[in-house]
Amino acid sequence: MKVASTGYVKEYEQLSICLAKIPVIDRCDLLHDKKEGFLAYLVFKDATKISLDVTVLNRAFPSIISEFVTKQKHEDVNLGESYTVIMAPYISGESAKQCERLGIGYLDMSGNCRLAIGSLYVNDQGHLNKFAKKRTAKTIFDPSSKVSSLILREIMRDVAYRWKLRLLADTLQCSIGQVFKVKDYLCEQLWARMAPDGLQVLKPQTIMHAWSEAYAQKSASFEVRDFHTLLPVVEFEDKVRQIKNDSGIDCHLTGFAGGMRYAPVVRYNKIHLMVRKRDLSAFLEAAACKPVDSGANVQIHVLPSDEMLHDARKIRDQQVASPVQVYLDCMRLKARGEEIAEAILAKEIEK
């Protein structure tokens, strides 16, 4: 194997190790470095060669990958003669899909790769991010990131509306920096873009699916309590409505009960509610439902703060959580829950 001087020793070694596993490949010869990467020859056992144009990125967001490919097409007159490979410490699932859509290969320093060079196809997935920080930055989907959650809920309330960032910050009475954080994340993933007239949501379904996954992962930290009522579903929901009218205690339907108000596609025999922590004792006394360890037909999500109630509705005199919140809660219920969540997504969020 030829050895040349390079500033990308670890990246070249990772590429060589990956390719060495393939019987038809003889070696990978390093040619020389380029700006942000290196060029190499992939040499097969039959002595045929393929040029590799390897670009090394510190971060590989989908937006960065798209910008790189666009720039490369304009600058590199010999692009058709080489196979483009992106390398980075870690390439996420979304970034991997973007590479595949653009017809380029990728290899990360965590071991994930996909190379499709002529008749050669290499695909190795499932390796965890070796470079994840012990305390990773919160994404906009983390329920504990309350301001980001509020901003995202307002954006997803009407995905056709194009928000000016300052107006969004003023509307929600939050800092412009927090709004930029959400905007940057969405745009980096190519789920939104900054148009001349404001922030444009491009992939509402992808956003909601990613959000639901993060929400489900954090759900173990929620305060959720199980109860039982002797009343039939309809009568208990009437009682909930009456409690609001009599005492002013807010109690919002979510889960199946909330979902049926937006998209009546399934039947249910368990009622999911959202009640503020300060109101819980008074609500339970008025509702006369009893705590249980099993056999619950009432489940209450106890809220320490109000961002999950953003854009809540009143439907037929019943308080109901927003379509976004009901979607998130239904996705956690799996099976029939996912069915009603997808109906809400199509009817109320993507509309």
Rounded to an integer, what distance in angstroms lies between the CA atom of residue 281 and that of residue 245? 17
- What CATH topology corresponds to 222-349? Beta Polymerase; domain 2 (3.30.460)
Rounded to an integer, what distance in angstroms lies between the CA atom of residue 201 and that of residue 55? 29
Is the confidence at residue 243, as pLDDT, over 90? yes
Rg (C-alpha) for the chain, rounded Å, is 26
How confident is the model at residue 2, as a pLDDT? Answer: 47
* pLDDT band at residue 1 using 50, 70 and 90 as cut-offs: very low
CB 346 within 8 A of CB 264: no
Q: State mean pLDDT over 84-106.
A: 95
Q: Tens digit of pLDDT for each residue in 98-128?
A: 999 999 999 999 999 999 988 899 999 999 9
- Which residue type is seen at 15? L
* Cα separation values, 168 from 103, 145, 180, 327, Å: 37, 17, 10, 23
CB 326 within 8 A of CB 344: yes
Whole-number average pLDDT of the chain: 92
- Among 35-39, 138-142, 167-171, 295-299, the range scoring the smallest mean pLDDT is 138-142
Which among 272, 291, 268 has a CA at the least distance from the CA of 281?
A: 291
Ordered by start, the domain boundaries in the chain are 9-124, 146-218, 222-349
Q: Which two tokens stand for residue 247?
A: 């005492």
Is the confidence at residue 10, as pLDDT, over 80? yes
Q: Tens digit of pLDDT for each residue in 137-175?
A: 468 998 889 999 999 999 999 999 999 999 999 999 999
Q: Which two tokens stand for residue 79?
A: 């692009």
Rounded to an integer, what distance in angstroms lies between the CA atom of residue 312 and that of residue 248? 16
Rounded to an integer, what distance in angstroms lies between the CA atom of residue 219 and that of residue 231? 28
How confident is the model at residue 80, as a pLDDT? Answer: 59
CATH number of 146-218: 1.10.10.10
